[in-house]
Amino acid sequence: MEHRRLSRVIKIGGFNHSGGQVNAVTLGGGLPPVIQTMWKDRLSFSDLQGAAAERIVSRIDALSRLGCALLRFAVPDMEAAEILGNLASMVSMPLVADIHFDHKIALRCLDFPIAKIRINPGNIGPYGAPETRGKVEAVLTKAAALSRPIRIGVNGGSLPADLRRMVDEGSLENAEALVLAAEREMAVFGEFGFTQVLVSMKASSIADTIKANRMLAERSDIPLHVGVTEAGPLIAGVVRNTAALMVLLGEGIGDTIRVSLSDTMEHEVIAAREILLAAADAAGDTGRRGGVKIVSCPRCGRNGFDTHAFTERWQARLYAMDKNLTVAIMGCAVNGPGEGRHADLGITGAGDKVLIFRKGKVIRTIDASEADEAFGEELDKV
């Protein structure tokens, strides 16, 4: 990631609203990629009341501390638009409305402090029809007046009928079809002079995802939202996203990323962070860090310290720290201070004793029952 593609700069959020400020997120222009995720459940008005609202706001705040900069919500109807609009007034993270089929939902979302809209002009009416043009113009005009960017989202499973037919017939590659679909929508935006736009072209195929984004990166300065869609459960999804994103990020392509998983939002964000770190590491960009890096051994029959349980207890706090640190969680004397000697802070164990070390030097030897308390104390000192 030493050389980043110089795409158009897009600002998301950064405006005041009643009761608070929406954080500003800038992407494009060669800046490091921005991490985002998507809320997994449908919300109701009752979710925005009392203790339920506190839990949602707290979870969004925790996602922010983990490194998530944008949070997207599906908005299938007007009720969902009202709910998201109310939630947007309760948090500072920029929220994104994901809208299909009904342009009026997009117009309503723009009445609230919702920072960005995801919409595909091709699915809000017959392509090229006068009524479709009017709907798109209404959305773009209102979004431009409010300085709200829009993402054009193209998926392999929802290509325009003519492009899908050509793919099925074998006369057009799927990746090229994704790019052509995106370029059609970009042309519509261009007709109305709307420039605050970014594009995603997602497929479940790793090869198609890479090829499509390479093509559009060469043809346009549009910022790109990258990731593999329908990637699967945790392990499979992380592997597939990593395979695609390591290639694209290594070529400087990708202004914002989402690691789509059939799993939690938190795991999506952590996976995205680790992929960005791995891409920087692979490029030899050792100066770029993104917070705490956790290294740990896999555990085996030699283990004297339960690395799995300890990592599970401390993972969220470590990832939420605004420090560039390497933390080693090792299971035994073999993988202890010696192998973790590069770590700013590490912990391992043998028998009923636990060792805490810095840069390979043991600084505390304690009973296993005191491990968490002692580790927390030393972490505060780093």
Domain ranges of the chain: 10-282, 293-381
Residue-by-residue DSSP string for 189-248: HHHTT---EEEEEE-S-HHHHHHHHHHHHHH----EEE--TT--SHHHHHHHHHHHHHHH
Residue 99 has pLDDT above 80, yes or no: yes
The Cα–Cα gap between 365 and 223 comes to 51
Q: What angle do CA 350, 354, 360 make, to 5 degrees?
A: 95
Give the Å distances, CA to CA, from 22 to 89, 142, 300.
9, 19, 47
- Structure confidence at residue 129 (pLDDT): 72
pLDDT higher than threshold 90 for residue 340: no
Residue 82: pLDDT band (50, 70, 90) is very high
H helix and E strand count, the chain: 11, 17
pLDDT of res. 106: 95
Q: Does residue 88 have a pLDDT over 90? A: yes
173 Cβ contact list (under 8 Å, min separation 6)? 167, 208, 211
Residue 156 above 60 pLDDT?
yes
What is the tens place of the pLDDT at every residue in 341-382? 789 999 988 778 899 999 989 999 999 889 999 999 999 998
Tell me how far apart the alpha carbons of residues 46 and 53 are, in angstroms, rounded to a whole number: 8
Contact 208, 156 (CB under 8 A): yes
The CATH topology of domain 10-282 is TIM Barrel (3.20.20)
CB 341 within 8 A of CB 356: no
* Cβ contact 340:331 at 8 Å: no
- End-to-end C-alpha distance for the chain, whole angstroms: 28
Number of neighbouring beta carbons within 10 Å of residue 130: 9
Using one digit for the tens of pLDDT, what is the confidence trace for 36-65? Answer: 999 999 999 999 999 999 999 999 999 999
In sequence order, the 6+-apart residues with CB closer than 8 A to the CB of 48 are 56, 83, 86, 87, 90
pLDDT value at position 234?
94
Distance separating alpha carbons of residues 353 and 228, to the nearest angstrom: 44
Q: Which helix (H) or strand (E) holds 346?
A: strand 345-350
Higher pLDDT: 156 or 154? It is 154
Mean pLDDT of 262-288: 89
DSSP string, 176-200: HHHHHHHHHHHHHHHHTT---EEEE
Q: Above 90 in pLDDT, residue 274?
A: yes
DSSP-based three-state secondary structure for 94: coil
What is the per-residue pLDDT for 1?
A: 46
- Return the number of other C-beta atoms located less than 10 Å from residue 134's C-beta: 11
241 close to 210: Cβ distance less than 8 angstroms: no
Least confident window among 16-25, 162-171, 296-305, 314-323: 296-305
Tens-digit pLDDT profile for residues 200-247? 998 889 999 999 999 999 999 999 999 998 878 999 999 999 999 999
Q: Does domain 293-381 have CATH number 3.40.50.2020?
A: no
* Residue indicated by tokens 């198609």: 208
φ, ψ of residue 26 in degrees (nearest 5): -110, 130
Burial label for 163, CB within 10 Å (0-12, 13-18, 19+), is buried
Residue reference for tokens 């505060």:
380
- List, for residues 115-127, the tens digit of each pLDDT value: 999 987 667 766 6
Q: Please tell me the distance from the alpha carbon of residue 99 to that of residue 120, in angstroms, as a whole number.
A: 8
Q: What is the pLDDT of residues 26-37, one digit of tens each?
A: 999 999 999 999
pLDDT higher than 60, residue 288:
no
